[in-house]
Amino acid sequence: MKRILVVGAGFAGAVHARELADAGFEVDVIDQRGHIGGNAYDEVCRTGQRVHRYGPHLFHTNNEAVVQWIERFAAFVPYQHRVQALLPDGGRVPLPVNRATINTVFGVHLADAAAVRDFLARIAEPHQAQTNAAEHLNATIGRVLTDLFFRPYTRKMWALELEDMDASVVQRIPIRFDDEDRYFPDDRFQMLPRDGYAHLFETILDHPRIAVTLRQTFDATLLAGYAHCFNSMPIDEFYASRFGPLPYRSIRFEHLCRPVPSQPPSAATLNFTDDGPVTRETDWSALSGQPRPIEAMTTVTRETPCDYLANDRERYYPVKTSDGRFQAVYARYKALADATEGISFIGRCGTYQYLDMHQVINQSLAQVRAWRRDHNNPSS
């Protein structure tokens, strides 16, 4: 029996590995990091709180099939995420923009959703053909809100101006006309693994037909003897940047201990609207299922974006520009991958997409099940 090689022990790799093992395939999983779980990995820190090492990972979806699959491997607790923005005067307002945000920023008293819509229509700057993020935002919420909440964040996060960003990057951010302050109010399922993501991944990969090797960097010589490889490594790196490198933004995470505040935080995440390098910080005490802190201390994590080349090549966010130049480069790599026998690229870096966790799981289930339909005999 030939084995299957899975490169990467994050969600994409773990879902593929478990589905294959359940179908009778022998699977080897490798990861260059010293832990499973990919960017969702978490750990208990010295304050006794569970911290997501690579920033907050909040599970939310309307896909019941994905929830049913993941609940096989862990117990979950409900969690409703909230985000606030720190204004120049020290005040805080909800994000995404809602009625309370608009009333505070403009010093108005809009009574209902209709009044909010009318107000935004008056300050909007219409663009017939919205070709970039700036035009979309200016046409939706006007220049003041755009320049306060989105322009400085975009410069920090992407090292680009809004005019250089593809409109799709900001189109996924809702604008609300009421006082709804939950970040994902439209998702039926919002939850966190009760015992953490690391435990979840341990359970997913706990199968007699799965073997996991950590601190193992992929090399093409590893492919010998395998029937197929599902690979979550950067697709451009696999092909030695034949068509040029695909750019990514990365994040430097700073985990800080602070005294527990006298009042519980009203939002887990605080976004910064200033011109400084930090985009946001997360107070882990605000997440559901946290153990009691040790010695009245809490942990917060600050995030500073940077180019992935300046952060040990840690890739987090594919860069999408308004002219589509990097998407065009990826298309060349995808065409090459489609013509390469015995390998499938998976996950965020393998498909050069920004994907939430539930999307990775859904995509991976669909991909591995399609592959199994064509390779339904593990012994062949």
Q: Kindly indicate the confidence band of residue 326, based on its pLDDT and cuts at 50, 70 and 90.
A: very high
User: Buried (b) or exposed (e) across 176-192, using 16+ Cβ within 10 A?
Assistant: bbeeebbbbeebebbbb
Query: What are the backbone dihedrals phi and psi of residue 225, each rounded to the nearest 5 degrees, phi first?
Result: 90, -5
From residue 102, alpha-carbon distances to 153, 170, 181, 265, 370 in Å are 18, 18, 13, 21, 47
338-366 pLDDT per residue, tens: 999 999 999 999 999 989 999 999 999 99
Whether 222 has a pLDDT exceeding 90, the answer reads: yes
Tokens 């093992």 belong to residue: 21
What is the predicted pLDDT for the residue at 325? 92
Q: Which of 84-88, 131-135, 375-379 has the highest mean pLDDT?
A: 84-88
Better-scored residue on pLDDT, 166 or 53: 53
Whether 93 has a pLDDT exceeding 90, the answer reads: yes
Sign of the alpha-carbon torsion through 238, 220, 26, 371: positive
Q: Kindly indicate the confidence band of residue 1, based on its pLDDT and cuts at 50, 70 and 90.
A: low
Sign of the alpha-carbon torsion through 78, 196, 287, 62: negative
Question: Beta strands of 247-339 (E only): which ranges?
Answer: 248-259, 269-272, 280-283, 297-307, 317-318
15-64 pLDDT per residue, tens: 999 999 999 999 999 999 999 999 999 999 888 889 999 999 999 999 99
First-last CA distance in the chain: 6
Better-scored residue on pLDDT, 45 or 253: 253
**Which neighbouring-strand residues pair with 52?**
42
Whether 71 has a pLDDT exceeding 70, the answer reads: yes
Please choose, from the candidates 177, 193, 194, the residue with its C-alpha nearest in 3D space to the C-alpha of residue 185: 177
Which structural domains are found in the chain, ordered by start?
Answer: 3-78+190-245+320-374 (3.40.50.720), 83-171 (no CATH)
Please provide the average confidence, as pLDDT, over all residues in the chain: 93
Mean pLDDT computed over 261-270: 86
Please choose, from the candidates 14, 10, 23, 63, the residue with its C-alpha nearest in 3D space to the C-alpha of residue 227: 23
DSSP 247: P
Percent of the chain surpassing pLDDT 90: 83
What does pTM read for this prediction? 0.92
Mean pLDDT computed over 85-103: 95
What is the predicted pLDDT for the residue at 105? 96
Tokens 């690391």 belong to residue: 198
What is the predicted pLDDT for the residue at 380? 58
* Distance, CA of 280 to CA of 108 (rounded, Å): 27
* Distance, CA of 310 to CA of 170 (rounded, Å): 25
Mean pLDDT computed over 100-128: 94
* Distance, CA of 85 to CA of 72 (rounded, Å): 36
Mean pLDDT computed over 270-298: 87
